[in-house]
């Protein structure tokens, strides 16, 4: 495929083989900025050390666009909310998510045999406040969470 600047493409992160989720790669939408640089356009579910709008260095490998390095950071942070099957209470989730949404956080949802949410915390959000709301959801047994990347300075 011939890539032109500003074209959305899937970039592939290698995750390793000893991950808790069992996936060895993850694809994320990114805008081609040219010269082997892409900007992430969605939050990763599994890749660590990277967040929405971060730049990554890429290379064509066997017909795929592979991430080979990390470029300038956006200031966003990524957290993952995990909700176990059979434990999802949509009303409780909505109640505990609402303060995060008011702060400006957003999420992408995936069903991998368990409910997983990739949470974006934009750079303008006070990370300590967002983290406290994530902890509150865990304390109320609505979810478990982990940090994928803290990009806040």
Domain 77-149 -> CATH class: alpha beta
- The answer to whether the beta carbons of residues 43 and 119 sit under 8 Å apart is yes
How would you label 86-100 residue by residue, b for 16+ Cβ within 10 Å and e otherwise?
Answer: eeeeeebbeebbeeb
Instruction: Give the separation between CA 23 and CA 49, rounded to whole angstroms.
Output: 17
| Cβ pair 11, 67 in contact under 8 A | yes
Global pTM reads 0.89
Per-residue pLDDT of the chain (153 residues; tens, 9 = 90+): 444 556 899 999 999 776 777 778 899 999 999 999 999 999 999 999 999 999 999 999 999 999 999 999 999 999 999 997 677 788 999 999 999 999 999 999 998 888 899 999 999 999 999 999 999 999 999 999 999 999 997
CA proximity to 6, closest of 37, 39, 35, 32:
32
Residue-level pLDDT at 21: 74
For residue 112, the model assigns a pLDDT of 87
**pLDDT for the residue 129:** 98
Q: Where are the domains of the chain?
A: 8-70, 77-149
Report the pLDDT value the prediction gives residue 5, as an integer from 0 to 100. Answer: 56
């Amino acid at each position: 495929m011939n890539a032109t600047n500003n074209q959305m493409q899937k970039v592939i992160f290698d995750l390793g083989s000893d991950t808790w989720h069992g996936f060895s790669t993850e694809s994320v939408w990114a805008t081609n900025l040219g010269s082997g640089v892409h900007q992430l356009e969605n939050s990763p579910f599994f890749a660590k050390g990277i967040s929405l709008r971060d730049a990554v260095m890429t290379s064509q490998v066997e017909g795929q666009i592979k991430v080979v390095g990390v470029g300038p950071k956006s200031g966003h942070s990524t957290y993952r909310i995990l909700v176990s099957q059979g434990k999802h209470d949509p009303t409780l989730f909505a109640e505990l998510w609402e303060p995060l949404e008011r702060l400006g956080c957003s999420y992408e949802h995936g069903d991998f045999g368990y409910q997983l949410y990739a949470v974006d915390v934009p750079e303008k959000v006070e990370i300590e406040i967002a983290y406290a709301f994530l902890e509150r959801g865990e304390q109320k047994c609505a979810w478990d969470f982990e940090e994928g990347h803290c990009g806040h300075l």
